[in-house]
Homo-oligomer: A and B are copies of this chain.
Amino acid sequence: MGEQRDGERLERQLAFLLEADRLKTVERRTLLTDGSRRENSAEHSWHLALMALLFAEYAPGEVDRARLLTLLLVHDLVEIDAGDAYSYDPAAQVGKQEREERAARRLFGLLPADQAAAVLGWWREFEEAATPEARFAQALDRLQPVLQNFASGGVSWREHGVRRGQVAARTAMIAAEAPALGRHVALLLEQALARGWLRE
């Protein structure tokens, strides 16, 4: 009986992990650095987690590394159902929260109840910026597209006619969570403006 329950537990975990594979097919607007194709949300999540390992030192206080990595690994899973909502597309923002809530219930609900609750909790913690780790994770999530866009010639900004003020507003929190990184973003936005990659 215990073994049967154990088997069912593993089956649920495997079903979730196979479903999670679909995050590799969710396309973001940002290009790879070499400009060869758009980035997907799974590899983006990996890149953020790697960045967190190296940039945790810029956080104003202590951050729990396991918690920070965990939040980054699960933060985009809802996009499997809800898609990636481009930050500078107002239409994509309409109804986003409801779509993502529905996605979270379906996707995390594939897991055994205790793990479903854990993943839901991590996802909410990130979304609500409820802890220092969640705020720092959000700051990195806003930093990475700026770095990636800048390195690939500002294509996704130019394609969507993005204004400097929009990016500055979206990335303002970086300066609070990691002052050195905030200064770097400000420099990049100046240069992107000068190069015509962002509009005034």
A32-B25, A54-B111 as given contacts; A47 in contact with B17, CB under 8 Å: yes
A55-B111 Cα distance, complex, nearest whole Å: 12
Check A55 against B13 for contact (C-beta < 8 Å): yes
Q: Which residue of chain B has the shortest Cβ distance to A36 in the bound complex? A: B25
Check B47 against A20 for contact (C-beta < 8 Å): yes
A184-B33 Cα distance, complex, nearest whole Å: 39
Check B24 against A39 for contact (C-beta < 8 Å): yes
Q: Which residues of B contact A91 (CB under 8 A)?
A: none
Q: Which residue of chain B has the shortest Cβ distance to A181 in the bound complex? A: B10
User: Least Cβ distance of A3 to chain B in Å?
Assistant: 9
A34-B22, A36-B25, A73-B49 as given contacts; A54 in contact with B16, CB under 8 Å: yes
A24-B43, A25-B32 as given contacts; A17 in contact with B51, CB under 8 Å: yes
**1/0 per position for A149-179, CB-CB distance to B under 8 A?**
0010000000000000000000000000000
* 28 pairs from A and B in contact (CB 8 Å cutoff): A10-B180, A14-B184, A17-B50, A17-B147, A18-B33, A18-B151, A20-B47, A21-B32, A21-B34, A21-B148, A21-B151, A23-B43, A23-B46, A24-B39, A24-B43, A25-B34, A25-B36, A42-B42, A42-B43, A42-B46, A43-B43, A49-B49, A49-B69, A49-B73, A50-B73, A50-B74, A53-B70, A53-B73
A20-B50, A24-B43, A24-B47 known; 19 other A-B pairs, CB under 8 Å?
A13-B54, A17-B47, A17-B51, A18-B33, A20-B47, A21-B33, A22-B33, A23-B43, A23-B46, A24-B32, A24-B39, A25-B32, A40-B43, A42-B42, A42-B46, A46-B73, A50-B74, A54-B115, A69-B69
A contact residues vs B (CB 8 Å cutoff): 6, 10, 13-14, 16-18, 20-25, 32-34, 36, 39-40, 42-43, 45-47, 49-51, 53-55, 64-66, 69-70, 73-74, 111, 115, 147-148, 151, 180-181, 184
